Amino acid sequence: MCGIVGYIGHRQAYPIIIEGLKRLEYRGYDSAGIALYDGNSLNLSKTKGKVSDLEARSHAEMPIDGSIGIGHTRWATHGVPNDVNAHPHYSNSGNLVIIHNGIIENYDAIKKELINRGYTFQSDTDTEVLVNLIEEIQKQEGAKLGKAVQIALNQVVGAYAIAVFDKNKPNEIVIARLGSPLAVGVGENEFFIASDASPFIEYTKNAIYLEDEEMAIIRLGKEVKIRKIKDDSLVDPYVQELQMNLEQIEKSGYDHFMLKEIYEQPRAILDTFRGRLLSKEAIIKMAGVEDNMKKFLNADRIIIVACGTSWHAGLVAEYIFEDLARIPVEVEYASEFRYRNPVITENDVVIAISQSGETADTLAAIKLAKSKGAFVFGVCNVVGSSIARETDAGAYTHAGPEIGVASTKAFTTQITVLSLMALRLARAKGTISSSDFRRYLIELELIPNKVEKALQSDNYVKEISNIYKDSRNFLYLGRGFNFPVALEGALKLKEISYIHAEGYPAAEMKHGPIALIDEQMPVVVIATKKGHYEKVVSNIQEIKSRKGKIIGIVTEGDVHVKELADHVIEVPETEETFSPLLTTIPLQLLSYHIAVMLGKNVDQPRNLAKSVTVE
């Protein structure tokens, strides 16, 4: 994980780097650092803590002048988060500085070798080893910075996005990538370097995304030269026009990104529909599916690979695909799938779901599936991300940047894309009639308005949050399409409020978790009208007999659950298939309010990062 930012040009680098790091804090926020070159000296400041801590410290301890610099916000892998392990790292001579996102797996062997040659190390990081390896190569081979970086990278095993600066070559920054994202913003006689485009969006709309195993020398007054790290061959830079704007990556008056993103869902789902859901003509258009229709229709099964919230969206999709398109679906944690020698054939279609498009386990699962001949389809939010590029075809969710670490609009837009796919395939296979297809399309089109309505429960959810905020445990129950929503509700609560929560299929309760229920245990039960309603109501009765506190998520106008539950939160009625898009809304709000009331850092929960680019 980690976020990296660099600047070389005619402006003051400091504010660009600090502001850029703040935008990248979703990638890691346990320590931060900056190095600036002011024309004479290379100054560096770093600290444990957030970018705001770095801002305070750097002002006090270094001149913040200079139009070349690099900065880093860290999510620790090697070495605890402290001042010394924070990046940038100097080489022994003090001439080189480096920032790094990723892991150098063979750093220990290289470190021993360097120690034998007299090098000393301040930190416990793999990164400090890499910068000294580069320095040693410069010495041994008399190589220029770019060449030394290239030779060093051919010796290391692992993943990286790096930026290296040499104060003896102060008009250039050398960057490289393998497995961690890296973008270059191309301005008028200035360049920006960052883990994603958000740090430079107000300066330029032109960006080059480095591919894996590529490096570039970013030199003032010159074109960006990209080379393959392995064979030194030149690559033509492809300059993309960015679609993102500044407003999308700001809080726009909300207290937290998470709340903003919860409220963005009606718009985000509409954007997901755009150009795809044509209800008047009664068609769904998805180029990635259309172009590969045969693969989908001839597939023996669909295997969905994902992690975390995206995995939950995959579970919802399993219900939807099997119900509508009658295609067998298996949903796999990417992290398990990649290591368990799974049976995959050329007749399998693999769908990889990822908001960031950078999740290391999902990426590895994709590579494995491709190596076995499967066709791999990606459902990603971040345009141009590694997973979007690695898959054979795909569909973007178009949710817009998701900055809060807890995923919200990514989840609902993933379900939206997967619903559109399932409906399109169902129509092509003839597993639903044209009248049912039409009915589904009309209902799907109403979802953004219904999400808007579900959001109106916000104040009431806040009141409920206040009652239960001090509970130590929560249970979430759901059935059918809403079982994965129970899992997702529990995940949201634990990740941002640090309250223990479990999600279960409602009927599984009696096989164990029921033993946990007493008057201290709030149980959130999704009991919408069409989803095995009577059965779930029986489960609610079982909870009530054991004095559990019941928070029911029900369909508007419900009376039955109201009689049994301590609280009910209503969501509009819809097809059972699409109900997760509505029932998930109060669960997102519940976790949000509880976390805020407990004084937790909602957008940046402890130990987490938005983009999990390490195993």
Stretches 102-110, 304-312, 389-397, 432-440: which one binds ligand F6R (CB under 6 A)?
Answer: 304-312
Residue type, 393: A
Minimum distance between the CB of residue 313 and ligand F6R, rounded to whole angstroms?
8
Burial 446-483 (b: 16+ CB within 10 A, else e): ebbebbebbbebbeebbebbeebbebeebbbbbbbbbb
Q: Residue 400 interacts with ligand F6R (CB under 6 A)?
A: no
Q: Residue 406 interacts with ligand F6R (CB under 6 A)?
A: yes
Q: Residue 309 interacts with ligand F6R (CB under 6 A)?
A: yes
Output 383 or 507, the one with its CB closest to ligand F6R: 383
Of the candidate residues 102, 308, 484, 489, the single one contacting ligand F6R (CB under 6 A): 308
Query: ω before 88 within 30° of 0 (cis)?
Result: yes
Minimum distance between the CB of residue 198 and ligand F6R, rounded to whole angstroms?
15
Q: Token digits for 614?
A: 């390490």
Minimum distance between the CB of residue 304 and ligand F6R, rounded to whole angstroms?
12
Output 73 or 310, the one with its CB closest to ligand F6R: 310
Q: 349 pairs with which residues across the strands?
A: 302, 375
Binding flags for ligand F6R, 256-295, as an x/- string (CB under 6 A): ----------------------------------------
Q: Residue 577 interacts with ligand F6R (CB under 6 A)?
A: no
Q: Residue 362 interacts with ligand F6R (CB under 6 A)?
A: yes
Stretches 126-134, 182-190, 307-315, 458-466: which one binds ligand F6R (CB under 6 A)?
Answer: 307-315
Output 9 or 605, the one with its CB closest to ligand F6R: 605
Cβ contact 448:269 at 8 Å: yes
Which among 2, 50, 307, 494 is annotated as catalytic?
A: 2
Output 201 or 306, the one with its CB closest to ligand F6R: 306
Minimum distance between the CB of residue 86 and ligand F6R, rounded to whole angstroms?
24
Minimum distance between the CB of residue 356 and ligand F6R, rounded to whole angstroms?
3
Q: Residue 1 interacts with ligand F6R (CB under 6 A)?
A: no
Size of the site for ligand F6R (CB under 6 A): 14
Q: Token digits for 148?
A: 């030394």
Distance CA 311, CA 331 (A): 7
Reported as type and span, the H/E element at residue 551 is strand 549-555
Binding flags for ligand F6R, 473-502, as an x/- string (CB under 6 A): ------------------x---x-------
Residue 294, classified by CB atoms within 10 Å of its CB into exposed (0-12), middle (13-18) or buried (19+), is exposed
Of the candidate residues 186, 201, 268, 307, the single one contacting ligand F6R (CB under 6 A): 307
Residue length of the chain: 615
Minimum distance between the CB of residue 154 and ligand F6R, rounded to whole angstroms?
29
Output 309 or 416, the one with its CB closest to ligand F6R: 309
Q: Residue 310 interacts with ligand F6R (CB under 6 A)?
A: yes
Distance CA 531, CA 543 (A): 19
Who's near 116: CB < 8 A, 6+ residues apart? Answer: none
Q: Residue 612 interacts with ligand F6R (CB under 6 A)?
A: yes
Output 114 or 612, the one with its CB closest to ligand F6R: 612
Who's near 281: CB < 8 A, 6+ residues apart? Answer: none
Which residues in the 21-60 window bind ligand F6R by CB under 6 A? none
Minimum distance between the CB of residue 414 and ligand F6R, rounded to whole angstroms?
8
Cβ contact 160:106 at 8 Å: no
Which residues in the 525-544 window bind ligand F6R by CB under 6 A? none
How far out from the chain centre does Cα 387 lie?
Answer: 11
Residue from 341, 335, 393 nearest 372 by CA: 341
Residue from 105, 102, 138, 104 nearest 119 by CA: 138
Output 66 or 308, the one with its CB closest to ligand F6R: 308
Output 33 or 404, the one with its CB closest to ligand F6R: 404
Give, in order, the Cα–Cα distances in Å from 544 to each of 309, 473, 517, 552, 561.
Answer: 30, 17, 9, 12, 11
Cβ contact 174:149 at 8 Å: yes
- Does 492 participate in catalysis according to the annotation? no
Output 150 or 407, the one with its CB closest to ligand F6R: 407
Q: Residue 397 interacts with ligand F6R (CB under 6 A)?
A: no
Residue type, 369: A
Return the number of other C-beta atoms located less than 10 Å from residue 91's C-beta: 21
Which residues in the 317-356 window bind ligand F6R by CB under 6 A? 354-356
Can you say whether the dihedral through the CA atoms of 501, 505, 506, 510 is positive or negative? negative
Output 88 or 314, the one with its CB closest to ligand F6R: 314
Q: Residue 407 interacts with ligand F6R (CB under 6 A)?
A: yes
Which among 46, 450, 494, 610 is annotated as catalytic?
A: 610
Q: Residue 595 interacts with ligand F6R (CB under 6 A)?
A: no
3-state secondary structure of 420: helix
Distance CA 88, CA 65 (A): 17
Minimum distance between the CB of residue 533 and ligand F6R, rounded to whole angstroms?
28
Residue from 414, 407, 406 nearest 353 by CA: 414
- Location of structure tokens 């061959």: 233
- Location of structure tokens 């609280």: 567
Stretches 76-84, 145-153, 303-311, 538-546: which one binds ligand F6R (CB under 6 A)?
Answer: 303-311
Residue nearest to ligand F6R (CB): 308
Q: What is the DSSP string of 454-503?
A: HGGGHHHHHHHHHHHTT-SEEEEEE-GGGHHHHHHHHHHHHHHH--EEEE
Q: Where are the beta strands (DSSP E) in 286-385?
A: 301-306, 329-333, 348-354, 375-380
Minimum distance between the CB of residue 70 and ligand F6R, rounded to whole angstroms?
25
Minimum distance between the CB of residue 23 and ligand F6R, rounded to whole angstroms?
17
Output 7 or 411, the one with its CB closest to ligand F6R: 411
Q: Token digits for 457?
A: 């429960």
- Does 562 participate in catalysis according to the annotation? no
Q: Beta strand pairing status for 225-228 and 214-219? A: antiparallel
What is the contact surface with ligand F6R in residues (CB under 6 A)? 307-310, 354-356, 359, 362, 406-407, 491, 495, 612
Q: Which residues are catalytic?
A: 2, 610
